Amino acid sequence: MIDLLLPFAISAAVTLLLVHSAHLHGAHSGDHDFSKPQKVHVVPVPRIGGLGIVLAMAAMVLWWRLVGEPDAFWTLLILLGCAAPAFLSGFIQDFTEAVTPRGRLLATAASAVAAFYWLDTGLVQTDIPGLDWVVGFTLGSLALTVLTVAGIANAINIIDGFNGLASMCVMLMLGAVAYVAFQAGDTLVGSLALAAIGAVAGFFLWNFPAGLIFLGDGGAYFIGFVLAELSLLLLKRNPEEVSPLFPLLVCIYPVFETLFSIYRRRFLRAKPPSLPDGIHLHSLIYRRLMRWAVGNRSAKALTRRNSMTSPYLWMLCSVPIIPAVLVWDNSVALSVFLGGFGVLYVALYWRIVRFKSPRWMRFPPTRPRWEATGDNRRT
């Protein structure tokens, strides 16, 4: 339990300090640009929440050193060292707006290459026809591993648009990794995953629902990288027990969101995939399901609507995670659920984008009189 509570306490304390010291660093760390299509906040907010998560994980390195856990100590120390390029590229971007998306992606790829060699987390089996032959070669394994890690980290950054969205989804996914690790008897990966959950939870405490601080690119890339590497480490250490499709199903929501966004931008809208837009699934839910978005435009009301969007996506993220932890050793069943999630996501997206969202998702089900008349006062 200390593996969970200690990083939580440290992360919560550091994040609170960052919130209360915003008057000192807010001019540089605050998100002041409200013009981008994916932005939904209305007041400057510090976007360096990832710092508390990183420091909490670093504290666990010292803790495991003190209590005599050499495996956990060295593994986490190497993991943090490998994560440095991914985190720093995003953290510098949060302060300067000077690092391009390509630069951050290349830095994350560099982190993945470092982990491939120093943590030996290369993919050697996929249970996907054709890819198993590719990963049979060192270069093929390296290329697919880097693509996987960088892709997951970037996917977490893409869904980081609303209070509590990315952080809760990552905690749910890490929870699945921890559960299967302990089921497989791998206490090392299980303990590392618990520590990461605690660190992210400490940030979540101040991010949801009030939105007092954001993950930022540094935080999003860092927790995405940690999630990907712990998933690969689980597979590497337990190749006979855990299906290689298990981590893919666990992470399928942000991964599919990214792939679908690339397809939508490139082929449907004929725009560069790297160009930001405001019609991700989470953005559509915010704009088209929050019926009380008409009228009151105060910062408090907008923050509330922001936070009310996230639970919809938490549920969507949980849909593939539940079967993943039930059939984590069965590749055939996992592949069926992967296909099912793809159908569910596309069907849900196209219904919402056509203003035909399912009735159960509508909140409230009918518009109040004061909204229908355009009056901001309740009658």
Percentage of the chain lying above the pLDDT 70 cut: 84
Amino acid 95 reads F
| Cβ-contact 26, 46 below 8 angstroms | yes
Band the pLDDT of 365: cuts 50, 70, 90: very low
**What's the pLDDT score for residue 120?**
93
CA–CA dist 165, 269 (Å, integer): 26
First-to-final CA distance of the chain = 51
- Of 221-235, 272-286, 288-302, 362-376, least confident by mean pLDDT is 362-376
DSSP, residue by residue, 25-59: HHHHHB-----STT----S--B--THHHHHHHHHH
- 101-118 and 70-96 helices, crossing angle to 10°: 170
Q: What are phi and psi of 104, to 5 degrees?
A: -70, -35
Query: pLDDT digits over 89-105, tens only?
Result: 999 999 888 899 899 99
| Cβ-contact 320, 253 below 8 angstroms | yes
CA–CA dist 325, 179 (Å, integer): 8
Greater pLDDT, 321 or 306: 321
pTM of the predicted structure, to 2 decimals: 0.89
Tell me the mean pLDDT in the region 308-327.
Answer: 94
Band the pLDDT of 377: cuts 50, 70, 90: very low
| Cβ-contact 341, 270 below 8 angstroms | no
Q: Which of 43, 290, 249, 273 has the alpha carbon at shortest distance from 158?
A: 273
Greater pLDDT, 288 or 79: 79
Prior bond of 311 cis (ω within 30°): no
Domain ranges in the chain are 2-372
132 is in an annotated binding site: no
Query: pLDDT digits over 27-54, tens only?
Result: 777 765 555 544 555 567 889 999 999 9
Is the pLDDT at 374 greater than 50? The verdict is: no
Unique residue bearing structure tokens 């720093």:
88
306 is in an annotated binding site: no
Query: Angle CA(220)–CA(225)–CA(167) in degrees, nearest 5?
Result: 40
Q: Which of 176, 167, 163 has the alpha carbon at shortest distance from 322?
A: 176
Is the pLDDT at 142 greater than 90? The verdict is: yes
Q: What are phi and psi of 363, to 5 degrees?
A: -145, 120
Query: pLDDT digits over 251-298, tens only?
Result: 999 999 999 888 887 766 667 666 666 677 877 777 766 654 444 666
SS3 290: strand
**What's the pLDDT score for residue 285?**
78
Amino acid 345 reads Y
How many Å is the Cα radius of gyration of the chain?
Answer: 21
Query: pLDDT digits over 182-208, tens only?
Result: 999 999 999 999 999 999 999 999 999
**What's the pLDDT score for residue 273?**
65
Query: Angle CA(230)–CA(199)–CA(143) in degrees, nearest 5?
Result: 25
Tell me the torsion sign for CA atoms 307, 308, 310, 314.
positive
| Cβ-contact 144, 123 below 8 angstroms | yes
- 187-207 and 165-183 helices, crossing angle to 10°: 160
- 331-353 and 281-289 helices, crossing angle to 10°: 40
Tell me the mean pLDDT in the region 67-92.
Answer: 96
Query: pLDDT digits over 334-346, tens only?
Result: 999 999 999 999 9
Tell me the mean pLDDT in the region 226-243.
Answer: 96
